[in-house]
Amino acid sequence: MVIPLERHRGAAPLSQQVVAYLRRAIDAGRLPAGAKLPPIRDLARDLGVNRETVADAYRQLAVLGLTESGVGRGTFVRPGAAGASPGKPASFGGPMSLSRAAAAATALPVVDYAAPAGAVRLERLVPDPSCYPLDDYRRAVDGVLRGEGAALLDYGDPAGHDGLRRVLVERLAHAGIETSADDVVITGGSTQALAIAARAFCDPGDAVAVESPTYPGLLATLASLGLRVAPVPLAADGLDLDALEGVLARGGVRMVCTMPTLQNPTGITTDVAHRRRLLAIAGRFGVPVLEDDFQHDLRSGMPTAPPLRALDRSGLVVHVGTVSKSLFPGPRVGWLVAAPAMTSAATALKRGMDLTSSPLAQAALARLCRSGAYDRHLRRFMRALAERHASAVDALARHLPAGSRFTRPGSGLALWVTLPDQLDTLALLPAAKQRGVVYTPGTLFYPDARPSSSLRLVVGAADPDAVARGVRALADAACAALSRPRPRPARADRVAIHV
């Protein structure tokens, strides 16, 4: 089989090109139901790529429902596969086709989280809805509507509601960040802030250094912008700075993305020495740093160092924040803080994306903060979060199989759990769901979607009893999997979840 591959700088990953070609062949009927795909070894040889590239492509096709395979049988096109692939990259009924960026974004991993009723949901990085301050927020909305009226239902300033920007300046000052309202841009959650920063500094095909593991939403955002990722591993104390220095020395990296406080998914918080060295490295190479401080307000009681933005003396740091994890995500309120030239560009890019974020949601948040209701909520939520962490740590220590380990961040919404190496948490998920718990498999957090024995548990998403019950269900599923005889490895038949 001959598959034309583009190998120039900026081209989509080779495995994604293989997937796109085979999907088109299946949709067009050139590969009919029952057709056998070439063995991985043979196709890799013919294409001049390594076997894992083809194996990854075959895994994606399997999860798309286009192929099926079995040990010793090979990989075959499934009946009914033609025309059934979600997000088909090929056509819209004419000569049009999706861009490389769109094709890359649709090839990122997703997981089916459907689970039996009653399962403990610990996969979404959001607070427990029972902790939402609904009455306070309702009063805030009513109050700003009475005070500012119809103006809050019109388009607002692309840079954001002036009242909220001033509130944020005051709150950021408590963290050591000295700024002005002119240097703050309100965004549609922190995800849009990430996208704006990436568009401000990078052109399609450029590389962005990211932590590995990292937030899947960051990977999706970068892919949608046509950017490449340059993974930098995490060490026990945070981003591996020696590895980062090597990545930047090779050139081509236009931005570094990092979460120095309560990193997602690991929960790692770096110390001040680590932060200063990171800034020194970035400064030496002249590469801007995006500091995603998305859980800043959940660090209460932790011995945290000042944010990177507070330590920055060169204007390299773009500080990003949100209330999605400390309050609730629905209003989609985030922000970025940067040097004046950057905020001017960010405002223009924001205007081009969606004109403005909701003036009503921004004004309501400003009122919630000024009234003291937000801080009262934080104190209540932090107490609830401490109980959930204690419940999770106790249950994990009691029930996980030997050889497991987990982080103890002390705060934040999530813990990072690593099971014995022979387990793959993606493959384990269906059994865990049947036993009554849903989590996020570790493979989703790695840019190369590698098999992983790790997983993320969002302990802030359920009450303490439910968290403990979910951990016991996870442990039961893991112990049951470990007790089964291990089949002979067949990497080509492993199923990873992609769209």
Model confidence over 55-113: pLDDT tens digits? 889 988 887 888 988 767 889 998 877 655 444 443 444 455 677 777 777 777 678 89
Per-residue pLDDT of 445-491, as tens digits, reads: 999 989 999 999 999 999 999 999 999 999 999 999 999 876 544 33
Please give the pLDDT value at position 485: 75
The model's pTM is: 0.79
Domains with residue ranges and CATH for the chain: 14-106 (1.10.10.10), 120-125+376-493 (3.90.1150.10), 134-371 (3.40.640.10)
Location of structure tokens 């089949």: 487
Contact criterion met (CB below 8 Å) for 317 and 279: yes
Q: What is the pLDDT of residue 486?
A: 64
CA-to-CA dists, residue 361 to 133, 138, 174, 257, 392, angstroms: 15, 11, 23, 27, 34
Q: Which two tokens stand for residue 109?
A: 């991993």
pLDDT at 96: 57
pLDDT averaged per 10 residues, the chain (length 499)? 79 87 86 90 89 89 83 82 51 57 72 92 96 98 97 97 98 96 97 97 96 96 95 96 97 97 96 98 98 94 87 97 97 97 96 96 98 98 96 98 96 97 96 97 94 97 98 98 70 32
Q: Say if residues 33 and 79 touch (Cβ distance below 8 Å).
A: yes
For β-strands 440-441 and 437-438, DSSP reports them as: unpaired
Which residues on adjacent β-strands are paired with residue 77? 67
